[in-house]
Amino acid sequence: MTNTVRATFGGKFGVLMATLGTAVGLGNIWRFPYMCGAHGGGAFLLVFILCVLLLGLPVMITEFFIGRHSQRNVTGAFDVLAPGTRWNLIGYNGVITSFLILGFYTVVSGWTLDYMLQSVLYSFENKTAEEFASEFAVFSSGIVRPLFWTLMVILITQFVIISGVKKGIERSAKILMPLLFVFLLLLAIRSITLSNAGVGFRYLFEPDFGKIDSAAILSAMGQAFFSLSIGMGCLITYSSYFGKNTNMQETAFQVNIISIFVAILAGIMVFPAAFSFGIQPTAGAELVFITLPNVFGQLPWGNLWAFIFYALLAVAAITSVISLHEVVTLYLHEEHHITRKKAANYVSLAVLLLASISSLSLGVLKEYTLFGLTFFNFLDYITAKIMLPVGGMMTCIFVGYRIEKKILKAELTNEGTIPFYFFNTYAFFIKYIAPVAIALILFYEIGLVNLIMKLF
Ligand code: TRP
Averaged confidence pLDDT in the chain: 88
For the CA of 227, the closest atom of ligand 1 is 4
At 148, the pLDDT band (50, 70, 90 cuts) reads very high
Helix (H, G, I), strand (E, B) or coil at 244: coil
**Ligand 1 neighbourhood includes 234 CB (under 6 angstroms):** yes
Cα(27) to ligand 1 centroid in Å equals 7
Cα(229) to ligand 1 centroid in Å equals 4
In this prediction the pTM is: 0.92
- DSSP alpha helices (H): ranges in 336-455? 340-360, 375-380, 388-402, 405-412, 423-428, 434-445, 448-455
Cα(323) to ligand 1 centroid in Å equals 8
User: Distance (Å, rounded) from C-alpha 346 to C-alpha 328?
Assistant: 10
Higher-scoring residue by pLDDT: 274, 302: 302
> 453: exposed, middle or buried (C-beta count within 10 Å: 0-12, 13-18, 19+)?
exposed
User: Distance (Å, rounded) from C-alpha 281 to C-alpha 59?
Assistant: 31
User: Distance (Å, rounded) from C-alpha 405 to C-alpha 417?
Assistant: 17
User: Distance (Å, rounded) from C-alpha 348 to C-alpha 342?
Assistant: 10
Cα(210) to ligand 1 centroid in Å equals 30
Give the residue, by CA position, lying nearest to ligand 1 atom 8: 229
pLDDT of residue 286: 66
pLDDT of residue 1: 44
User: Distance (Å, rounded) from C-alpha 7 to C-alpha 303?
Assistant: 42
Q: Out of 51-55, 279-283, 429-433, which region has the weakest mean confidence (pLDDT)?
A: 279-283
Cα(25) to ligand 1 centroid in Å equals 7
Q: Residue 31, Cα to own-chain centre: how many angstroms?
A: 9
Give the residue, by CA position, lying nearest to ligand 1 atom 4: 27
**Residue (of 319, 383, 398) closest to 75 by Cα position:** 398
Residue 282 has pLDDT above 60, yes or no: no
**Tens digits of per-residue pLDDT, 413-428?**
999 999 999 999 999 9
User: Distance (Å, rounded) from C-alpha 255 to C-alpha 149?
Assistant: 29
Residue 2 has pLDDT above 50, yes or no: no
Taking each continuous run of H as one helix and of E as one strand, the counts in the chain are: 24, 2
User: Distance (Å, rounded) from C-alpha 293 to C-alpha 307?
Assistant: 10
Which residues fall within 8 angstroms of residue 372, CB to CB, at 6 or more apart? none
Residue 285 has pLDDT above 70, yes or no: no
Q: Are 153 and 354 in contact (CB under 8 A)?
A: no
Q: Are 25 and 234 in contact (CB under 8 A)?
A: no
**Ligand 1 neighbourhood includes 28 CB (under 6 angstroms):** yes
Residue 172 has pLDDT above 80, yes or no: yes
Cα(232) to ligand 1 centroid in Å equals 9
User: Distance (Å, rounded) from C-alpha 416 to C-alpha 419?
Assistant: 7
Give the number of other CB atoms < 10 A from CB of residue 411. Answer: 18
Residues in a beta bridge with 389: none
Q: Residue 120, Cα to own-chain centre: how many angstroms?
A: 27
Q: Would you state the torsion angle of the CA atoms of residues 315, 271, 139, 116, taken in this order, to the nearest 10 degrees? A: -30
Residue from 20, 22, 60 whose mutation best tests the ligand 1 pocket (most atoms within 8 A of CB): 22
- Strand pairing report for 373-374 and 369-370: antiparallel
Q: Which helix (H) or strand (E) holds 57?
A: helix 57-70
**Ligand 1 neighbourhood includes 26 CB (under 6 angstroms):** yes
Neighbouring C-alpha atoms within 13 Å toward the C-beta of 385: 13
Q: Are 165 and 7 in contact (CB under 8 A)?
A: yes
Residue from 34, 229, 255 whose mutation best tests the ligand 1 pocket (most atoms within 8 A of CB): 229
**Tens digits of per-residue pLDDT, 227-250?**
999 999 999 999 999 999 999 999
- Exposure string for 426-438, b = 16+ CB within 10 A, e = fewer: bbebbbebbbebb
Cα(231) to ligand 1 centroid in Å equals 9
**Tens digits of per-residue pLDDT, 371-401?**
888 899 889 878 877 788 889 999 999 999 9
Q: Looking at this protein, which amino acid is placed at residue 141?
A: S
Give the residue, by CA position, lying nearest to ligand 1 atom 6: 229
User: Left (φ > 0), alpha (ψ -120 to 50) or beta: where does 2 sit?
Assistant: beta
For the CA of 24, the closest atom of ligand 1 is 4
Which residues fall within 8 angstroms of residue 288, CB to CB, at 6 or more apart? 29, 30, 313
- Exposure string for 246-281, b = 16+ CB within 10 A, e = fewer: bbbbebbebbbebbbebbbbbbbbbbbbbbbbebeb
Residue from 227, 239, 321, 383 whose mutation best tests the ligand 1 pocket (most atoms within 8 A of CB): 227
User: Distance (Å, rounded) from C-alpha 440 to C-alpha 390?
Assistant: 11
Helix (H, G, I), strand (E, B) or coil at 389: helix
**Ligand 1 neighbourhood includes 35 CB (under 6 angstroms):** no
Give the number of other CB atoms < 10 A from CB of residue 319. Answer: 25
**Tens digits of per-residue pLDDT, 295-317?**
788 788 889 988 988 998 999 99
**Residue (of 83, 80, 27, 95) closest to 332 by Cα position:** 95
For the CA of 25, the closest atom of ligand 1 is 15
**Tens digits of per-residue pLDDT, 60-72?**
999 999 999 999 9
**Ligand 1 neighbourhood includes 229 CB (under 6 angstroms):** yes
Which residues fall within 8 angstroms of residue 318, CB to CB, at 6 or more apart? 109, 153, 156, 157, 176
> 209: exposed, middle or buried (C-beta count within 10 Å: 0-12, 13-18, 19+)?
exposed
**Ligand 1 neighbourhood includes 227 CB (under 6 angstroms):** yes
Higher-scoring residue by pLDDT: 266, 269: 266
The C-alpha R_g of the chain, in whole angstroms, comes to: 21
Mean pLDDT of 13-36: 90
